[in-house]
Chains A and B, each alone.
Chain A
Amino acid sequence: MNNKESSEIIGQVVAADIAFFTAQSLELHRAPPLGSLVQTNDPTIYVVVCDARTESIEGRRPVAHLSGETDLQSFLDANPHLRHLLRTTFDAVVVGHGESATVRHYLPPHPAPIFAPLRLCPQEEVARFSQSLDFLKLLLSAAANSDEVAAACLRLASAAHPDRRAFLVTAGKELARLLANEPHRLTAILRRIRP
């Protein structure tokens, strides 16, 4: 519990349904990495980041207007109002939820509340969550780029396990079962997670 409390809040849910939600990053350009495991508390819902973007708050398309600056930071410093006109949002696939100490690798009964704060799961939490690989089915059936997301998620999760290769082999076997009828997808993912 301490870990959850101590890990810093990275964003807030701005749109949610049962299987999917969109959140806004607290800081511009600071979305969590593709495939990372993120959670809300009360209720605990686990999601995997599957997309991210930075855009204008008003829906207008930003217009490029460099005036001598050679890097992004000095450009933003020279135009401080821009930080308030832009926002970074990210999408996430729901892969599980928790009730007290148990982790369930299937969809929660209710969507995440709007404005719920989000934390990046610490390594121990990632390890605990990825003990079971049942969430891969949810990941693979979600949205576009699901293969890339699954591969990225497994790469990140493998770092939380002491035997990285063994974890990836186990995950690969789960993928082989799920994608038994789609050998080309399977081999493409396997190439992306090869240790």
Chain B
Amino acid sequence: MSDHDKPESQTTADRLGLVVGGSLAAGLDVRLDSSRSVEDIAVGRYVTIQGQRSRFFSIITDVELRATNRDIPWSLPEATDDFAREVMAGTATFGSLHVVPYLKVGPTADAQPEPAKTVPAHFAEVREASQEDVERVFGQEDESHFVIGSPLDMEVKVCLNYQRFAERSNGVFGKSGTGKTFLARIVLASLIQKSNVQREAKDRVVNLVFDMHNEYGWKGTREGGSGEVKALKQLFSASVAVFTLDLESSRRRQVATDAVVEIGFDEVEPEDIEILQESLNLTPLAVQAAFPLERRFGRQWIEKTLDLDPSDEEEREFLQRESIHDSSFRSLRRGLRRLERLGFMRPHTEQNSVQTILNYLQSGKNVVLEFGRHGDNITAYVLVANLLTRRIHERYRQQKEAALGDRAQEPIHLVITIEEAHKFLNPQLASQTIFGQIAREMRKYNVTLLVVDQRPSGIDTEVMSQIGTKITCLLDSESDVDRVLEGVAEKRELKSVLARLESRQQALIFGHAVPMPVVVRTEEYGSEESYGRFAERPFRERLEEIYSE
């Protein structure tokens, strides 16, 4: 007797119906038992199909009303009574489900789920997935699995594989108001928590969060917009540092910050200006003009460009020699003046923000950089995120190369969180910005991304295809849905699931860190109990570990 065999009492309660047709490519048609109502079925729910030898894990992707004869439903009298309805249900008229098999588990108890390469035979029984089934697929919460939510209508938890999640770049998508930030916060808290319990340094990760709207550092707004919830620093005071670009805003919000980040003009390079072309409203020629100016003036090029007097004979000659047209020069200068007005820009800074951040990261501390009032200024966000990341990535590259494959010497794995990712990763910029490069090179230099975005259609296709795990809340626009699902085998089916997510607290997760796509109700976050889940348990576990040793 295999472990799939169940006592008779359990066999009818959760049975949904029988497989009556379909294919691996197009999914299976399941005839719903007459005792089951189509109204109790939800797209996105899990079912298992018991084949003769293997069990298949599948997702319901469509529900349909069918009739054995096309005319039957039409020929019934208008006032159909309960009796006729009961008689017809499951005989002449019946519900049918469309399910897509994703995984197959062999008959032995220790068999691991593997991708389904065939389908169960005719009349295989289809059942609602049990808690054990789901646990078997998604793993139980332990030091390498973290909980993200529960499948629809189930109490069991869906876990993401921490290692697999961290080793690729990931994305959290959804239109505004669907809880992206909320989900990203859970993901980040889980990454920190799981990283903290890893024994080996090579398994740990640190996070660098470019916190546009001050949601991840000390406190965030509760989902729905009323009240506050604890953010990362309050949960993990020892392993999170909050940096700010806007000390005044942080003070006003009573956030204890660890450092203030200022950017010197001498730290800005023409490449940084290049990606600001759109937000600074620069012409392409104006952007190109930055390079000869930097060659001429060196690190002080911005200050000197701003001071340059184009009416001066010598300067005019220089501009002409470099084929910089007067209008391009003016355009560039207008753009640089806008940078000058940013509150965190200084002609020169004594402190080296990049080094400070790196020191924290290298010591295993997660860094949240709050933008304060600058969060609404996309120029500031793109400039700072790109500038810091480029230099941090450069250091990582050097360290990684210096380690010569000795994993102990390698820098600790870094996950960089960016919001409004389409501003960095759109097709025009993805090849230029460091983020495009990080997304493409995967974890070659121990740096990956967590992109949070509401308009995935704006993200470059190639970058999107490199995103390992996608956590997707409701998306309205067809083009956004298409981009998120690009390259996924069961695109059509998942599309119907994605389109029917509730606008809050539900997400479709698929990709590298989950063995099959799953729709989850996201974990509750914001109550003392939920905080306890992150903070107390690892501590208690560690205490128990100490005592047991």
Residues in A lying within 8 Å of B, measured CB to CB = 165, 168-169, 172-173, 175-177, 180-181, 183-184, 186-187, 190, 194-195
Tell whether B52 is near chain A: CB-to-CB under 8 Å. Answer: no
Instruction: Evaluate contact between A169 and B87: CB separation under 8 angstroms.
Output: yes
| Pairs A-B, 4 closest by C-beta atoms | A172-B87, A183-B75, A176-B91, A176-B92
> In this complex, which of A172, A176, A180, A184 has the most chain B Cβ atoms within 10 angstroms of its Cβ?
A176
Tell whether B26 is near chain A: CB-to-CB under 8 Å. Answer: no
Known: A173-B91, A176-B88, A176-B91. A183 touches B76 (CB 8 A): yes
Chain A binder among B65-73, B144-152, B272-280, B334-342: B65-73
Instruction: Evaluate contact between A187 and B75: CB separation under 8 angstroms.
Output: yes
Inter-chain contacts of B84 with A (CB < 8 A) = 172, 187, 190, 194
**Mind listing 7 A-B residue pairs with CB under 8 Å?**
A172-B84, A173-B34, A173-B91, A176-B87, A176-B88, A186-B92, A190-B84
A181 to B68 alpha-carbon distance, docked (Å): 8
Inter-chain contacts of A175 with B (CB < 8 A) = 87
Known: A173-B90, A176-B91, A186-B92. A194 touches B69 (CB 8 A): no
> What does DSSP make chain B's interface, helix, strand, loop or mixed?
loop
Instruction: Evaluate contact between A183 and B72: CB separation under 8 angstroms.
Output: yes
Instruction: Evaluate contact between A187 and B76: CB separation under 8 angstroms.
Output: yes
Pick from B71, B75, B81, B91: contact of A177, CB below 8 A.
B91
Residues in B lying within 8 Å of A, measured CB to CB = 34, 68-69, 71-72, 74-77, 81, 83-84, 86-88, 90-92
Instruction: Evaluate contact between B83 and A180: CB separation under 8 angstroms.
Output: no
Inter-chain contacts of A176 with B (CB < 8 A) = 87-88, 91-92
Instruction: Evaluate contact between A183 and B71: CB separation under 8 angstroms.
Output: yes
The residue on A at minimum CB distance from B92 is A176
Inter-chain contacts of B90 with A (CB < 8 A) = 173
A186 to B80 alpha-carbon distance, docked (Å): 13
Inter-chain contacts of A190 with B (CB < 8 A) = 83-84, 87
Known: A176-B88, A176-B92. A181 touches B83 (CB 8 A): no
The residue on B at minimum CB distance from A190 is B84
A180 to B93 alpha-carbon distance, docked (Å): 10
Pick from A165, A168, A180: contact of B72, CB below 8 A.
A180
7 more contacts with CB within 8 A, not counting A176-B91, A186-B92, are: A173-B34, A176-B88, A183-B71, A183-B92, A186-B72, A194-B81, A194-B83
A172 CB, min distance to chain B CBs, angstroms:
3
Known: A183-B75, A187-B75. A169 touches B69 (CB 8 A): no
A81 to B417 alpha-carbon distance, docked (Å): 109
Instruction: Evaluate contact between A180 and B92: CB separation under 8 angstroms.
Output: yes
> In this complex, which of B72, B75, B76, B86 has the most chain A Cβ atoms within 10 angstroms of its Cβ?
B72
A175 to B87 alpha-carbon distance, docked (Å): 9
Instruction: Evaluate contact between B87 and A183: CB separation under 8 angstroms.
Output: no
B169 CB, min distance to chain A CBs, angstroms:
55
The residue on A at minimum CB distance from B71 is A183
B79 CB, min distance to chain A CBs, angstroms:
11
Pick from A183, A184, A186, A195: contact of B83, CB below 8 A.
A195
A134 CB, min distance to chain B CBs, angstroms:
15
B94 CB, min distance to chain A CBs, angstroms:
10
A175 to B81 alpha-carbon distance, docked (Å): 17
Pick from B69, B74, B77, B86: contact of A180, CB below 8 A.
B69
Known: A186-B92, A187-B77. A173 touches B72 (CB 8 A): no
A153 CB, min distance to chain B CBs, angstroms:
17
A186 to B92 alpha-carbon distance, docked (Å): 10
Inter-chain contacts of A177 with B (CB < 8 A) = 91-92
The residue on A at minimum CB distance from B68 is A180
Inter-chain contacts of A194 with B (CB < 8 A) = 81, 83-84
Instruction: Evaluate contact between B83 and A169: CB separation under 8 angstroms.
Output: yes
> In this complex, which of B69, B74, B87, B92 has the most chain A Cβ atoms within 10 angstroms of its Cβ?
B87
Known: A180-B69, A180-B92. A172 touches B83 (CB 8 A): yes
The residue on B at minimum CB distance from A169 is B86
The residue on A at minimum CB distance from B73 is A183
Inter-chain contacts of B69 with A (CB < 8 A) = 180-181, 183
Instruction: Evaluate contact between A168 and B83: CB separation under 8 angstroms.
Output: yes
A75 to B68 alpha-carbon distance, docked (Å): 57
B76 CB, min distance to chain A CBs, angstroms:
6
A184 to B83 alpha-carbon distance, docked (Å): 16
A90 to B88 alpha-carbon distance, docked (Å): 34
The residue on A at minimum CB distance from B67 is A180
A169 to B82 alpha-carbon distance, docked (Å): 10
A173 to B34 alpha-carbon distance, docked (Å): 10
Pick from B75, B81, B88, B92: contact of A184, CB below 8 A.
B75
Inter-chain contacts of B71 with A (CB < 8 A) = 183
A72 to B346 alpha-carbon distance, docked (Å): 122
Inter-chain contacts of B83 with A (CB < 8 A) = 165, 168-169, 172, 190, 194-195
> In this complex, which of A165, A181, A183, A190 has the most chain B Cβ atoms within 10 angstroms of its Cβ?
A183
B68 CB, min distance to chain A CBs, angstroms:
5
B479 CB, min distance to chain A CBs, angstroms:
45
The residue on A at minimum CB distance from B83 is A194
A140 to B68 alpha-carbon distance, docked (Å): 20
Inter-chain contacts of B68 with A (CB < 8 A) = 180
A186 to B88 alpha-carbon distance, docked (Å): 10
B92 CB, min distance to chain A CBs, angstroms:
4
A180 to B88 alpha-carbon distance, docked (Å): 10
A109 to B32 alpha-carbon distance, docked (Å): 40
A87 to B338 alpha-carbon distance, docked (Å): 115
Inter-chain contacts of B72 with A (CB < 8 A) = 180, 183, 186
A180 to B87 alpha-carbon distance, docked (Å): 12
Inter-chain contacts of A169 with B (CB < 8 A) = 83, 86-87
A172 to B92 alpha-carbon distance, docked (Å): 10
A47 to B76 alpha-carbon distance, docked (Å): 31
The residue on B at minimum CB distance from A175 is B87
A65 to B74 alpha-carbon distance, docked (Å): 53
The residue on A at minimum CB distance from B72 is A183
The residue on B at minimum CB distance from A170 is B87
